[in-house]
Amino acid sequence: MRISPVARPRRGGLAIVEAALLLSIFLLFLFAVFEYSRLLLLLHVSTNAARSGARHATVNVDKPVTFVTLDDSGIQSITNHVIGQMGGANTMIHNFNVTAFPCDTAQMYQDPPVLAPRAGSPPWNQASFTERIGVQITGEYRPILPGFVFFYSGGSSAVPITITAATGSEG
């Protein structure tokens, strides 16, 4: 005697629809993780470049404000040094700008500390001995898929970036 299999109701493409929905949600999370990781990488690289730029400014405080290279020494300007330290990550920042300035000491010792330019905006190379020289990187990060930062940036398609680092002057 032969037992016939139980007739199953046909699903007619239901598995394909379920797979498409689950795959789209999975890819959404995957790309969101990718974009957030790129943002964290950019913040990390920018922070290290700003620190290096501030250190570069403190050891070259005797140079003119607008130097690019001097003689055969190959000393770079602060902006070129920061760009070199970023290793190409600066291309991910729109409206990329590097600013060097002597820090306002009164604001540095507030809680939380504020690294702001000294009153009168003197050039960075006029910082006195032990006065802090700050380097600030500003711009905005625009992700490949702008919808992912919609909630993070308050509805904007770009995330503003401001990184500031300071070191003591040796001049």
Domain ranges in the chain are 14-168
pLDDT tens digits for 80-132? 889 999 999 999 899 999 988 888 888 877 788 788 888 887 888 888 887 88
pLDDT (0 to 100) of residue 146: 64
Phi, psi (deg, nearest 5) at residue 34: -60, -50
pLDDT (0 to 100) of residue 80: 87
Contact predicate 59/170, CB 8 Å: yes
Contact predicate 30/24, CB 8 Å: no
Between 73 and 101, the more confident residue is: 101
In b/e form, how buried is each residue of 36-56, taking b as 16+ CB within 10 angstroms?
eeebeebeebbebbbbbbbbb
